[in-house]
Amino acid sequence: MKITNEVVEKHGLKLEEYSKIKELIKREPNFLELGIFSAMWNEHCSYKSSKVHLKKLPTKNKNVIQGPGENAGVIDIGDEDAIVFKIESHNHPSFIEPYQGAATGVGGILRDVFTMGARPIALLNSIHFGSPENEKTRNLLHGVVSGIGGYGNCIGIPTVAGETKFNNTYNENILVNAMAVGLVKKNKIFFSKAKGVNKSVVYVGSKTGRDGIHGASMASAEFDENSEEKKPTVQVGDPFTEKLLMEACLELMKDNSIISIQDMGAAGLTSSSVEMAFKGDLGIEINLDKVPCREVNMTPYEMMLSESQERMLIILEEGKEESAKKIFDKWDLDFVVIGKTTNTKKIILKYKNETVADLPIDALSSKAPQYDRKWNKIKLSEKKIDHKNLKKIKFEDAFVKIVSSCNQANKNWITEQYDQKVMCDTMEKSGGDSAVIKVHNKNKAIAVTVDSSANYCKSHPITGGKQIVCESWRNLISVGAKPIAITNCLNFGNPENPNVMGEFAESVQGIKEACEYLDYPVVSGNVSFYNGTNKKNIYPTPVIGGVGIISKIEQKRNHLLKKEGNPIFLIGKTFGHLYQSIFFEEIYSIKEGPPPEVNLLNEKNNGEFVLRIIKENLVNSVHDVSSGGIIMALAEMCLGSELGIKIEKPRKLKNLFEYFYGEDQGRYLIEVDKSNLKKIEKLSKDNNIFQEIVGFTQKDNFELTGEMKINVKDLFNINNKWYYNY
């Protein structure tokens, strides 16, 4: 095929990028080679618009074994154990074909984890949809949830936590981010770096089909009115085959056969082979005649760009081919030696006794374009609203409206579709601040959470970036875990738009500042650009996946109330910040104004104090204060327990709405035994921690003196009503 400007642009490449390709290889590429460059130079694989900013993120602390650059991050949790984890996006495929898009997102992130040698122990997700009033939203929600549940349930990995949010900004581009967590011994971690010459390159897993061709390129472009035509680029998953592949790989990993291993994810055989060779400063030669295909007459172009699922590329030690094949034969999976490593520093592809591609590895990887795109600084809104001019509303009416709204309503309808208990190690599941998974046969556990706050990031990205990291930090502490590290999935619009690029640059800056201050590094992640349709970009939506360690299981806590008559303390000061709050949005449709300030010193001090009193067994239950303020956090502490709360009016802040709905950061609610009340007061004073009693637990009713009184059972029904009717 003749390569024209139109052909180049259809491959997602700029004409100037095509000129650079010709310069690098000193000739015109053929059609197959153009496809390979398209796969490796797109945003999804090359990070060409984001790398300059991502380099600023902190990636190390004493617990980090492996940071960014591998299939997943790895942290040390003691006793020779390590946790492998990562979050990635599958936004574009899920919008086009929600079930398979979401399902293969789960499958892909699982492979990233067990490729490192870890057995997956937990799945999480962060899913964002447009207006729930749209019929399309309803269809997308049902499809995505079914896809997540279908894949995770079938493969037998519990889906333990997540978030589901609605906002008009996602009407034309939903977000589906999947996170996986695995457990591995520190001396059994595997990497993708190729080593040695003339080593066997082995294809294992499912056969290659025509699904998913140009999937990575599709994920690196905006949608338009013709997005439905891109359905063939969506991969088709098979969780039962993935289960077999996982078990076969983990079995092979028990001996010393594997030199390197790489998932065939985005860009399939192209990216896996190039990345392995590049990391090892080697070349690779592949005979495409040997690639197992499930469809007839597949071309080299289709084989190299297919994103068919449940496939791996393995480089084996010499003489291990036969024993390794027996393992994959046992699991009824393909095992074919398709090539070898070389010292050429090239990828050479052969087909029907001809060389069909001959490209330098560095041209596809390190010499890919890197852009420091123009970006605009995002100004902090100084909008002021005179509360006196707002329509008056009864406190109870506002509370009922908010607690029953789509973003605050109980998500059991969704989470009940996921198996949360399989493997029998889930100690805390969806609905709390973090999920908790017991480390099998050990008196310790890990805590995991996912968080996002698009509204905060839209109004001021630096503050929003800080806030998401801090909320993740608080959520882990609230279950008794020491926060260790994060993974991030950075979902943004078109990076060629200076305002979007400004949102990205400043969100990353905010994440950087918070992670550095809290010693909470980024060990893995993903960037998803071009989330939008017809020039309408989504709100900046960084998603943070956090992991922490509970060193002794008896230190685990949750947010549910434990005993009647106990005081509930608020840790951290309240200033009554209502801009960007659920209250302003739900009651007055006000979406303007700055987000709440993030004071990193207070976050650190308050968090470490709460973790200390948990370890000293002075706290019954803990809940962080976030979206919806104090009143929503208190309501969530009642829901799921059989107790209510009698809440006292504040002594200093006169405006009840500011006090109870303000979303000031760095705060926790803790339930304490009456006998420990004085201890908490003294310890907080000694450590310069602000605290005040906001109420006492009681039977039956959720009550604010003089303003509202709702039976706890009625509160449950109000909180569940929205999803029951959806």
- Which residues are annotated as catalytic? 44, 90
Helix, strand and coil in the chain, % to nearest 5: 40, 25, 40
Work out the number of other CB atoms within 10 angstroms of the CB of residue 499.
Answer: 15
Distance between CA atoms of residues 715 and 726, nearest Å: 19
Enclosing H/E stretch for 480: none
Distances (CA, A) of 556 to 73, 428, 433, 437, 495: 25, 9, 12, 10, 42
For residue 229, the SS3 value is helix
State which H helix or E strand residue 180 sits in.
strand 175-185
Q: Point out which residues pair with 137 in neighbouring strands.
A: none
Cα(602)–Cα(691) distance, rounded to whole angstroms? Answer: 13
> What span, in angstroms and rounded, lies between the C-alpha atoms of 140 and 409?
19
- Report yes or no: 37 and 364 within 8 Å, Cβ to Cβ: yes
* Spatial CA neighbour of 556 closest among 478, 614, 620, 480: 480
Cβ–Cβ < 8 Å for 478, 469:
no
Instruction: Please list, in sequence order, all residues whose beta carbon lies within 8 angstroms of the beta carbon of residue 338, skipping any fewer than 6 positions away.
Output: 201, 202, 203, 286, 287, 288, 290, 291
The CA distance from 449 to 244, in Å, is: 28
Q: What is the CA radius of gyration of the chain?
A: 26
Query: C-alpha distances in angstroms, 324 versus 192, 195, 339, 340?
Result: 18, 18, 16, 16
Residue the block writes with tokens 């617990």: 63
> CA 535 to CA 499: how far, in whole Å?
12
User: What is the rounded CA–CA span in Å between residue 282 and residue 347?
Assistant: 9
For the chain, the distance separating the N- and C-terminal CA atoms, rounded to the nearest angstrom, is 51
Q: Which helix (H) or strand (E) holds 182?
A: strand 175-185
DSSP string, 82-115: EEEEEEEE-HHHHHHSHHHHHHHHHHHHHHHHHT
The H-or-E segment that residue 306 falls in is none
* Structure letter (DSSP) for residue 389: G
